[in-house]
Amino acid sequence: MYNRGVLLNNPFKKGVKDYLQLVYTNMAERKYTRFHRTAFDRFIPFRPNLDVETSHARLMLRLPDCAENELGQFKSPVTKSYARLLSETTHVEDGNVLPICSKPFASPFKKRLTQLFPTRPDEGYSSPTTDKIRSIPTSPDCIMDMPGLRDDFYTNLLDWSNKNLIAVALFQSAYVWDAESKDCQRIEIHFPQSYYYISALAWSPRDKALAISDNDGEITICDVEKLQSQRKFVPLRQKCSVGALKWTNYGIISGNRRGEIRIHDDRCKDSSALKCMDGHHRKDVCGLSVSSGTSYLASGGDDGHVNIWDLRMMTNCKTIKAHSACVKALSWCPWRQNVIATGGGLNDGNIRLWYAHTGEQLAETATNLQVCGLLWSEEYNELVSALSSQTPDRNDLVVWNMKKFEFEAVAKLRQHMARPLHIALSPDETTIASAGADEALCLWNTFPKRSRRKQWSPWDKSPLNMYNYIR
């Protein structure tokens, strides 16, 4: 029998008795006691007597040869042969193909969590790469025969209008091809002599009007819809060929063989309303290019100089000694308005980038070929150059990657058997038209439109951008 006094005097038994009495009381009052356990995210064992460094050193320490031999005697022949073949194949002496002692790669998400304000704008908040690798077609989508296309470097016989019309001059006639309806119509110019030919043409930026100049110095404005000539300009007192022509909002700009640049007001019916800018080119004016959204005009001459003009003030801003040969290829950068690309003739063969306002050279590449034309792609940040040579296998259109304003060749478009003299860009900036001395017109779908998904920038994911928060 138990001693009741000992049971009551034992502290452990007394605690059990108090607990049972509390349970009986709660059951009588219909109160249920619930015990809540604190939820932890993980279980961390507490081992105060464990020396982690010593254990890690023993695991990473290589066993001596005797120990390896002792352990190796218990291995099966299949395991031994597999280890021998593995070491011979991977050329690893210690047998650790994937060693665990090397430092693991850091997670790209760890930096975003630990570094709230990065030192650089694109560090920790860089957007993922969403653009796929673009495949540039090396063959043209369309090839058209152009019999009678003049093989003359000092002419500009191709232009693509804002209305998606392509105009090309073939000797004494101009042909207009509609890229949408695929209709072609002929505009014939009546010349007094048989040796006259069309030397340049340019589309109007507003309507379907085409300006055509010849080697006698006359400029004719033709209405493409009515197929008739509206009026003629005789801008020169002496007969001289007009090799470069541009139709802008300031008027029709022409450059001739005497080194003169003249601006004609297309709203006037006579040739009296014109302004002349001369004295800066000693030889022929071969190329003209107007910066989009500005009033700056670049002119290239046979003397190798590039002149920058302000059309509002009719003054020369800068003269750049760009090349040692004729400068026909001129093109302004669409996303950097003060940068212009120029290309030299056969005796120069260089493509250079310039700061137009300072005349400082930005980049350069040597092609050792004649540069006939240049044009930019704003969507892909690329530059296309038309290069000509005496050999048929080097008359190419070269696509350059210009994201960092460094010349990096991306692709070569080869189709012309003779030098590609003229290039033009479509109004949607997706297709290139090239006309060569081989009497062929090629259309290249080089810059297809990208998908219209939102392009994320580092600023969109920055914590300093307050537009990301909903108020």
Question: Domain containing 382: what range?
Answer: 143-444
- CB-CB neighbours of 297 under 10 Å: 25
pLDDT of residue 4: 46
The proportion of the chain whose per-residue pLDDT surpasses 90, expressed as a percent, equals 45
Give all strands (DSSP E) within 249-295, no chain letters: 251-256, 261-264, 274-277, 285-290
Beta strands at 305-310 and 361-366: parallel, antiparallel or unpaired: unpaired
pLDDT of residue 108: 52
Q: Which of 189, 165, 188, 192 is nearest to 178 (CA)?
A: 165
Confidence band, pLDDT 50/70/90 cuts, at residue 132: low
Q: Which of 214, 211, 195 is nearest to 203 (CA)?
A: 211
Name the range with the highest mean pLDDT among 17-21, 37-41, 186-190, 252-256: 252-256
| C-alpha to C-alpha distance for 446 and 148, rounded to whole angstroms | 27
pLDDT of residue 138: 84
CB 170 within 8 A of CB 147: yes
CB 128 within 8 A of CB 465: no
> What mean pLDDT do residues 25-49 have?
58
In a domain, 60, yes or no: no
In a domain, 381, yes or no: yes
Please tell me which residue, 81 or 440, carries the higher pLDDT value: 440
In a domain, 131, yes or no: no
Which residues on adjacent β-strands are paired with residue 246?
253
Question: What CATH number is attached to the domain comprising 161?
Answer: 2.130.10.10
Per-residue pLDDT tens for 330-387?
A: 999 999 989 999 999 999 999 999 999 999 999 999 999 999 999 999 999 999 999 9
Q: Which residues contact 100 (CB under 8 A, 6 or more apart)?
A: none
pLDDT of residue 71: 46
Which residues on adjacent β-strands are paired with residue 386?
373, 397
Confidence band, pLDDT 50/70/90 cuts, at residue 191: confident
Confidence band, pLDDT 50/70/90 cuts, at residue 207: confident
Which residues on adjacent β-strands are paired with residue 222?
210, 229
Range with lowest mean pLDDT among 158-167, 353-362, 445-454? 445-454
> What mean pLDDT do residues 307-320 have?
91
- The secondary structure of 362-395 as a DSSP string is EEEEE-SSEEEEEEEETTTTEEEEEEE-SSGGG-
> 418 vs 148, 173, 201, 390, CA distance in Å?
14, 22, 22, 8
Confidence band, pLDDT 50/70/90 cuts, at residue 46: low
pLDDT of residue 449: 86
| C-alpha to C-alpha distance for 338 and 291, rounded to whole angstroms | 9
pLDDT of residue 92: 56
The proportion of the chain whose per-residue pLDDT surpasses 70, expressed as a percent, equals 68
Range with lowest mean pLDDT among 51-55, 210-214, 284-288, 336-340? 51-55
In a domain, 37, yes or no: no
| C-alpha to C-alpha distance for 429 and 195, rounded to whole angstroms | 36
In a domain, 24, yes or no: no
CB 241 within 8 A of CB 199: yes
Q: Which residues contact 58 (CB under 8 A, 6 or more apart)?
A: none
Confidence band, pLDDT 50/70/90 cuts, at residue 63: low
In a domain, 70, yes or no: no
> What mean pLDDT do residues 297-321 have?
92
pLDDT of residue 24: 67
- For the chain, give the number of residues: 471
pLDDT of residue 356: 93
Please tell me which residue, 110 or 239, carries the higher pLDDT value: 239
Sign of the alpha-carbon torsion through 9, 14, 17, 18: positive
In a domain, 344, yes or no: yes
Please tell me which residue, 21 or 350, carries the higher pLDDT value: 350
| This prediction's pTM | 0.68
Mean pLDDT, the chain, integer: 79
Res. 39: pLDDT tops 60: no
Phi first, then psi, for residue 56 (nearest 5°) are -65, -40
> What mean pLDDT do residues 396-408 have?
94
| C-alpha to C-alpha distance for 261 and 280, rounded to whole angstroms | 9
Res. 164: pLDDT tops 50: yes
Ramachandran assignment for 247, one of left (phi > 0), alpha (psi -120 to 50 degrees), beta (any other):
beta
Rg (CA), the chain: 39
> What mean pLDDT do residues 420-433 have?
95
pLDDT of residue 232: 75
| C-alpha to C-alpha distance for 240 and 285, rounded to whole angstroms | 12
pLDDT of residue 371: 96
CB 433 within 8 A of CB 166: yes
Phi first, then psi, for residue 320 (nearest 5°) are -115, 125
In a domain, 288, yes or no: yes
pLDDT of residue 3: 47
Per-residue pLDDT tens for 251-289?
A: 899 998 888 898 988 777 665 567 787 767 888 899 999
Total number of domains in the chain? 1
CB 10 within 8 A of CB 18: no
pLDDT of residue 464: 64
